[in-house]
Amino acid sequence: MSTSPALSAVPPSSAGLPGASDPPGPAGRPADGEAPGSRLLHPDPMVRRLAGITLVNTVGSGLSLAVGVLFFTRVLGLSAAQLGFGLTAAGLCGVAASVPAGRAADRWGARPVLVVLIAVNALGTAGYALVHSYPAFLALACVVSAVDRGAAAVRNALYAEVLPADRRVAGRAYLRVVTNVGICLGTALGAVALQVDSRPAYLAAILADAASYLVVAVLFHRLAVPVAGRSARTSAAGEDGAAAAGPDGLPGRRRNPALRDGPFLLVTVLNALLCLQFAMLEVGVPLWVVQHTEAPRITVAGTLIVNTLLVITLQVRATRGTEDPVTAARVCGRAGLILAASCLVLALAHGLPATVAAVVVLAGVALQAFGEVLSQAGGWALSYDLAGERDHGAYQGVYNAGSAASLMIGPAVVSTAVVGWGLFGWVALGVLLAAAGLAMGPAVRWARRGGRATGR
């Protein structure tokens, strides 16, 4: 499940996450014969700390997501057109902020940069309570989106500093499970404000979200970064400085290595295409159900429940084997094919009787959830493996910018080109998702020929 970056600091289905796993075997993986998820708490203390921070963050974000649209329209008095334009502009700012935020993490360290960004996010979110004009809303929304997307990139770089390389993807998976749980809890709290339906209730929900950011900033400030992570960053910074020096020995300006890495840029674009699945779930499926099928409208709520439960259940298991870049690319290929199949199944719901149509839609969303957990697991692995152990901020910034761009344009693409074209639109989206997933294999082979994905 994904969330709108303009309304939340959650990374894309942030969002914009290792599973409750058992006693670790070699390299931190579950011991043989034991199934991940058999215990609620993760055995790694660092992952447990990150999970606690993630839970606080996403409960607040779920609360904001539940009331955000009504707060902006009913309390601030924005029209639907004003809100749509404002969130689009904010999304553009979020895309632009990811790359410089990542570079800042490489220069000054992920933790201090992340603390600053989250603190600014807290102030910006609280600032909505003081907005009384559209220009003020527009400016504030752009600031909040920029620091939110920047924080998502820096947070991913921080995971590279605090988690061993062989545990990062599993760690991300566990945190993603916690993210979905937190959003569900926050949404349930938001339902209380929606039921009260008053200005004080909506303001309280927004301010509670702002307070959660302050708590998260404090928790990240207190998070201990292992010496190995600091040493790797310091070493990289020293090499950066040497590389940036001109022939006269004076300091120069080193260009972003991720922007000059062709294979990584290709993987970023392919991942962004796979992220269209989130717009498919959040925008395409509801519109398709209501406008083009006989399925009861309650099916829309059922699709989100099915997706959330399957992601919580399967995300950790989906990371198995993704430690190897070639295998991770193969996992993305399978994900693309499954997502394509889900598009075809969803398209078949048109013209069927109500009950049958509802079952077909839920089956299509179940397939989407399988594709989602695989594509996320493979994508996380590649975003770290292709960067090696240097410049994680730069690489995560670029990678996050691609995801943010997809989340920004996805709703428009899906609502017009997919739902608007009917069966042909779903087939076209399926072909695009399958092609993006299958192209990950050649992209990784290109990277390996160029010396990437070697754990340098």
Give tens-digit pLDDT for 228-240: 544 444 444 444 4
In a domain, 17, yes or no: no
Answer yes or no: are the C-beta atoms of 35 and 41 closer than 8 Å. no
Both 431 and 324 in a single domain? Answer: yes
Rounded Cα distance between 96 and 90, Å, is: 10
Closest residue by Cα to residue 396 from 44, 161, 188, 178:
161
User: What sections of 29-79 are H helices per DSSP?
Assistant: 45-70
pLDDT at 19: 30
Both 213 and 277 in a single domain? Answer: no
Rounded Cα distance between 384 and 404, Å, is: 18
Q: Strand, coil or helix: what is 24?
A: strand
Half-sphere exposure of 387 (CA within 13 A, CB side): 30
In a domain, 315, yes or no: yes
Q: How buried is residue 32: exposed, middle or buried, by Cβ count under 10 Å (0-12/13-18/19+)?
A: exposed
Both 72 and 186 in a single domain? Answer: yes
Say how many Å lie between the first and final Cα of the chain, rounded: 33
Domain of 406, in residue numbers: 258-449
pLDDT at 80: 78
Q: How buried is residue 195: exposed, middle or buried, by Cβ count under 10 Å (0-12/13-18/19+)?
A: exposed
In a domain, 239, yes or no: no
Write the secondary structure of 150-195 as one string of H (helix), E (strand) and C (coil): HHHHHHHHHHHHHCCHHHHHHHHHHHHHHHHHHHHHHHHHHHHHHH
Q: One-letter amino acid identity for 114? A: L
In a domain, 79, yes or no: yes
Both 296 and 440 in a single domain? Answer: yes
Answer yes or no: are the C-beta atoms of 170 and 22 closer than 8 Å. no
Both 380 and 277 in a single domain? Answer: yes
pLDDT at 173: 86
Both 209 and 265 in a single domain? Answer: no
Both 209 and 280 in a single domain? Answer: no
Rounded Cα distance between 266 and 248, Å, is: 36
As for how many domains the chain has, the answer is 2
| CATH code: domain of residue 308 | 1.20.1250.20
In a domain, 454, yes or no: no
pLDDT at 341: 97
pLDDT tens digits for range 180-204: 899 889 988 988 888 888 899 999 9
Both 33 and 127 in a single domain? Answer: yes
pLDDT at 321: 74
In a domain, 431, yes or no: yes
DSSP assignment, residue 30?
A: B
Last residue of a domain, one of 223, 243, 278: 223
Q: One-letter amino acid identity for 320? A: R
pLDDT at 248: 39
Count of Cβ atoms closer than 10 Å to residue 354 Cβ: 12
Both 192 and 278 in a single domain? Answer: no
Both 214 and 318 in a single domain? Answer: no
Both 326 and 443 in a single domain? Answer: yes
137-140, long-range: CB < 8 A, 24+ apart: 137/72, 137/76, 137/78, 137/82, 137/86, 138/86, 138/89, 138/90
DSSP assignment, residue 425?
A: H
DSSP assignment, residue 27?
A: G
Both 384 and 428 in a single domain? Answer: yes
In a domain, 242, yes or no: no
In a domain, 324, yes or no: yes
Identify the segments of the chain with pLDDT beneath 50.
2-38, 229-253, 453-456
pLDDT at 123: 96
